[in-house]
Structure 1
Amino acid sequence: MGMVDELRRARDAYERREWVSAYRTLSDLDESGLAAGDFTALATTAYLLGRRNDCIQATERAYQANVDQGKVFAAVRSALWLATVLFEGGEVAIGGGWVARAQRLLDAVEGDVVERGYLLQLQQLELIVKGELTKAVDRAPQVTDYGRRFHDPDLLAVGLAFEGRLAIYSGRVAYGLRLLDEAMVGVLGGEVSPVYSGLVYCSAIEACQEVSDLGRAGEWTHALSTWCESQPGLVAFTGQCAVHRGQLMRLHGAYTEALAELDRAAARYAAAGGHPAVALACYERGETHRLRGEYDAADAAYEKAAAHGHPAQPGRALLWLGQGRVEQAAVTSHRLLAEVADPVHRSGLQPAVVEVFVAAGDVEAGAAAVQELAELARSFGCSALLAAAGGASARVALAQGDGAAALAPARAGLDGWTRLEAPYEAARCRALLGTALRLMGDEASAVGDLAAARRTFVDLGAAPAEREVAELLGQAAPGGLSPREVEVLRLVAAGRSNPEIAAELILSEKTVARHVSNIFAKLDVGSRTAAAAFAYQHRLV
């Protein structure tokens, strides 16, 4: 097959979004026979397949070919796309140089052209990367306006996405979410190119996660998963997609599956040469391990997240709380509230700091945090934040000894989390409800709600929360053992080996070994015989 036929085959594969075939064919061809548009196609496929260095090299070739042929506007687009890739990789200075080069080319052009809109968009991105959000907010509507006036779907979608995110950060959450919805209309309608579709998908989902609009986040994550699966070989955006799926799995109580999905996300990031969002995957692993009571693994995950540039808080403060390091958790919580000023990130802190302040006995600080959280929840109107505000309000009311005041917010939190199919958070609110009923003298109803909450925690494998509720019920296992550890101990006392226990409980042998090790540590025993003796002494068998 000749060069012309091979080139035609590569271009056809590119149009059909067969990225692997297009990339391989274009890569194998003699570069002297490629046009500027072919280098652009090669750069696009390389980006989508996670080959960042190849993308940069091909874009540089496309830029030079366009300059040599006097195609100013195409050269500007090549320069701006190269800046985008460099900004994404944290190379702000080099990316800024390409933005300046694009501006120089446009300065020699008379009249208004759509490329000026793309230049504005990159200048806006540069401001965001540098943390100059106020200036970026001012430019955001201009980018969107360029997209509308020049009927450019890519520029319109990315302009709406940026404008929406910046509106959210400035406190106009409902308006910002509407703009993101509008951006997604073009993406779902197939009007937007693959690269910009992926960028808008991920931006929209991240925004929903940040303001706790988890219903919306679930819808867009499902749509992103379908979009990724429709493009075999796609690497770009699949890591972010896996992280978002992992977040939702954790929300829905599928902890083992969430950890596996987050592992897949990390593997995809590694295949793509790394990505800033790997830090988020690490943080999410920390959150999942913390809920399961796997504190060492949680601490390691938070540490890794921090090393990759993602804040380890407020998850680590809650971890310290679980480990009994209440004073440290409280000091850090006060520091976080003093440092974080924007409403979006404060909303993400408030539920955790309320829990820490109440545990530390600083009910006044907890009440102040609840008041701000409730105001933010009403302003944002986002489902999960409203549910979190209900639970936090109930927690403070209980700390003040007011069971009646805790009832309504606890029920509101329970209803909200139940609608979101979030069993862990719903069970925590049910436990608060049971505690409120007990304070009001309705012991029978209190025991019913507390027992239901405990069953949920047992099913989830959320050992710390289960132990807390068991203590309220007066049913805590001796030695601080979790329900699963009690099951394992009973089988150890019955003379079962680790493989036999694994088969009976449908667990891996590695998991059983970990449970046995934890049991020995909690009971301060050094043998299976001593552990069995403990079980008989405490009537566990």
Structure 2
Amino acid sequence: MPPLPSDDALPDLPGHEAADLARGRLPSNRGGGAMSVVDDLHRARQAYERREWVAAYRALSDLDDTHLQADDFAALAITAFLLGRRNDCVQALQRAHQAELGENDTLGAVRAAYWLAMTLWQGGEAAISNGWMARGERLLEGVSEDVVERGYLLERATFGHVANGEFAEAAAAAPKVTEYGRRFGDPDLTAMGLHMEGRLTIFSGQVADGLRLLDEAMVWVLAGEVSPIFSGVIYCSCVEACQQVSDFGRMGEWTHALTLWCDSQPGLVAFTGQCAVHRGQLMRLHGAYRDAISELEQAAGRYAAAGGSPAVGQAHYERGETLRIGGEYDAAEAAYTEAAEYGHPAQPGRALLWLARGRPDAASAAIHRVVAEVQDPVHRSQMLAAAVDVLVEVGELEDAASLADQLCGFGSAFGCTALQAAGEYARASVAIARAEAEDALAAARSGADAWARLSAPYEVARCRVLIGRALRLLGDAESAAAELAEARRAFAGLGAAPAEHDVTVLLGDARAPGGLSPREIEVLRLVATGKSNPEIAAALVLSEKTVARHLSNIFAKLDVRSRTAAAAFAFEHHVV
């Protein structure tokens, strides 16, 4: 937060009023006299120092520009930014820049140019932002000594490299930003540099090292050494990084801290949208779906109050994911569409929706495209679990197995529990489809334990379904039924209607797919495990002739001509 001028630097008074003060008389306040201006400016500066943003903004806005100094304009800009008044922020920064030039304060003018570049870039006005960067660099050409302002412009240049996909250049520049901050004892620049180093290190796949750098940056913020805008940027960026690598434990800690930070500043608009998105993500993880949808809708509203943001697309995508789990497919499709309109990818969630709506070909095509396009480890780790789900359902088991192994590899490399749990579920899913019961059982149990540590009831229930299916393949029907029944109770409690229905079918308590009878379902399950007719007869205590008749009926109802095709149907419809 820029220091404001002391009260000794309050505006000069007209000559006759100065003389009155010298004689010990106060000038009249009628018509907004000079003493009123002095008092108002003093109150405005005090409100700013107390971080009472609404009061400071109103007080500074009400004063005539002729009474404000460059630092007052900078304070007005910061309060406007934090209150979501972006246009007012830009205008105040432009006035600050001109005031600094008028006072021959080149470095102050560079600072104002930096803030303009950052604010305009965040608002999507990249060309104008670049213009202010160029002006700041031009002003520094006349400064011979090394100054911290060079570090600030380097920070913006580093973000420019990231935006242009020049990650090697960004990775080389970020440590220099941190060094500028340390050398000049500037907490804002130091913390921003560490935060950028951390994000770029994570992006390179060195997740543990990157998270340590983010933790170090957050220490500066939590110690109260970083100014408000930089604090908000670092808070939101660190939480986002944790979400991207599925480090939900750390994400929960930082989201809680961010929520407290936002709540401590009444009237704050900036950063509250992203805070709400991350709270919504955690609510979904913990199974509070109605609360999650409400929080995500509020997030979109907060982004709108702040003048809009491409990040609103993420709020809609997360809302779509929550609605899809609850079976509200039309609403989920609308949410994915809104996400795409704001520039946020609608995949892989939309592919899972298409699969649920009986469009396997569309789902498979979309997943293959996404898998080919997304190559960096962070973003790839986010979509592999859904890709395996789709490919297993459409029977592309070799590709599914390969992606499941990749997901497990990311889980080991990143060291994040949720990613490891997702990898175990993916492996179990592939193993079930291959009728590899023992491997499926071990992986599904491992996944369930990991998800339970994260208090993720939906994911635990999904693992229990695979445990039940594996036990059924192993011939332990009673234990299988118990696992499936527990999963169904969990899905019902969460309001996850599609998953509840699928388990109901597995338990034989609903109309079976293909119109099969309960006995035909039993026969089909054993066919899918590779049992011969004599083996099925022995298992079900039937004659071989009866088994053959059941099998003939199954083929007719499913319109298939071979045991292999019947087994494929069984796996596709979770009969096994």
Q: CA deviation at 1:133?
A: 2.0
| Equivalence for 1:213 | 247
Structure 1 distance, partners of 2:513, 2:92, is 63
Structure 1 distance, partners of 2:292, 2:368, is 31
Tell me which of 408, 412, 423 is aligned to 1:389: 423
| Structure 2 counterparts to residues 313-462 of structure 1, below 5 A | 313-462=347-496
| Equivalence for 2:342 | 308
Structure 2 distance, partners of 1:226, 1:202, is 13
Q: Deviations over 1:15-59 (max 9, x none)?
A: 000000000000000011100000000000000000000000000
Q: Deviations over 1:119-159 (max 9, x none)?
A: 11000111222222222111111111111121211111111
Is the CA contact 2:161–2:167 (under 8 Å) kept in the aligned structure 1? yes
Tell me which of 133, 146, 155 is aligned to 1:121: 155
Is the CA contact 1:317–1:333 (under 8 Å) kept in the aligned structure 2? yes
Is the CA contact 1:354–1:370 (under 8 Å) kept in the aligned structure 2? yes
Structure 2 distance, partners of 1:199, 1:159, is 12
SS at structure 1 position matched to 2:279: helix
Is the CA contact 1:87–1:126 (under 8 Å) kept in the aligned structure 2? no
User: Larger Cα Rg: Structure 1 or Structure 2?
Assistant: 2
Larger CA deviation: 103-112 vs 253-262: 103-112
Q: Deviations over 1:274-316 (max 9, x none)?
A: 1121110000110011000000000000000000000000000
Q: CA deviation at 1:477?
A: 6.3
- List runs of 5+ in structure 1 lacking aligned partners: 481-541
Structure 1 distance, partners of 2:113, 2:500, is 56
> Is 2:71 the partner of 1:37?
yes
* Equivalenced residues, count: 480
Give the AA of the match of 1:112.
Answer: D
> Is 2:201 the partner of 1:153?
no
Give the AA of the match of 2:296.
Answer: L
Structure 2 distance, partners of 1:425, 1:303, is 26
> Is 2:219 the partner of 1:185?
yes
| Equivalence for 2:111 | 77
Structure 2 distance, partners of 1:430, 1:74, is 62
Is the CA contact 2:82–2:269 (under 8 Å) kept in the aligned structure 1? yes
Structure 1 distance, partners of 2:367, 2:268, is 41
Structure 2 distance, partners of 1:143, 1:235, is 28
Q: CA deviation at 1:476?
A: 2.5
SS at structure 2 position matched to 1:78: helix
Q: Deviations over 1:310-350 (max 9, x none)?
A: 00000000001111111111111111111111011110110
Percent identical pairs in the alignment equals 62
Is the CA contact 1:92–1:126 (under 8 Å) kept in the aligned structure 2? no
Tell me which of 92, 115, 140 is aligned to 1:106: 140
Q: Deviations over 1:487-541 (max 9, x none)?
A: xxxxxxxxxxxxxxxxxxxxxxxxxxxxxxxxxxxxxxxxxxxxxxxxxxxxxxx
Tell me which of 97, 100, 110 is aligned to 1:66: 100
Tell me which of 85, 88, 107 is aligned to 2:122: 88
Tell me which of 180, 200, 216 is aligned to 1:166: 200
Structure 2 distance, partners of 1:265, 1:330, is 32
| Equivalence for 1:20 | 54
Structure 2 distance, partners of 1:53, 1:130, is 26
| Equivalence for 1:475 | 509
Is the CA contact 1:286–1:302 (under 8 Å) kept in the aligned structure 2? yes
Larger CA deviation: 195-204 vs 91-100: 91-100
| Equivalence for 1:199 | 233
Give the AA of the match of 2:416.
Answer: C
| Equivalence for 2:297 | 263
SS at structure 2 position matched to 1:275: coil
| Equivalence for 1:520 | none
Structure 2 distance, partners of 1:67, 1:477, is 78
Q: CA deviation at 1:371?
A: 1.0
| Equivalence for 2:557 | none
Q: CA deviation at 1:478?
A: 8.8
In structure 2, the CA distance between the partners of 1:309 and 1:78, relative to structure 1 (3 Å rule), is same
Structure 2 distance, partners of 1:438, 1:265, is 44
> Is 2:286 the partner of 1:248?
no
Structure 2 distance, partners of 1:251, 1:462, is 13
- List runs of 5+ in structure 2 lacking aligned partners: 1-28, 30-35, 515-576
Q: Deviations over 1:60-82 (max 9, x none)?
A: 11011111111111111111111
| Equivalence for 1:290 | 324
| Structure 2 counterparts to residues 274-285 of structure 1, below 5 A | 274-285=308-319
Is the CA contact 1:239–1:268 (under 8 Å) kept in the aligned structure 2? yes
Give the AA of the match of 2:491.
Answer: F
Structure 1 distance, partners of 2:125, 2:144, is 31
Is the CA contact 2:204–2:377 (under 8 Å) kept in the aligned structure 1? yes
Give the AA of the match of 2:232.
Answer: G
> TM-score, with normalisation over the residues of structure 2?
0.82
Structure 1 distance, partners of 2:194, 2:460, is 34
Tell me which of 168, 174, 179 is aligned to 1:134: 168
Structure 1 distance, partners of 2:70, 2:106, is 12
In structure 2, the CA distance between the partners of 1:197 and 1:109, relative to structure 1 (3 Å rule), is same
Structure 2 distance, partners of 1:325, 1:296, is 14
Q: CA deviation at 1:267?
A: 1.3
Is the CA contact 1:184–1:200 (under 8 Å) kept in the aligned structure 2? yes
Give the AA of the match of 2:106.
Answer: V
Is the CA contact 2:77–2:88 (under 8 Å) kept in the aligned structure 1? yes
Is the CA contact 2:181–2:190 (under 8 Å) kept in the aligned structure 1? yes
Give the AA of the match of 1:208.
Answer: C
Runs of 4+ in structure 1 off by over 4 angstroms are 477-480
Give the AA of the match of 2:291.
Answer: E
Structure 1 distance, partners of 2:370, 2:513, is 35
SS at structure 2 position matched to 1:233: coil
Larger CA deviation: 203-212 vs 430-439: 430-439
Structure 1 distance, partners of 2:105, 2:489, is 68
Structure 2 distance, partners of 1:32, 1:135, is 44
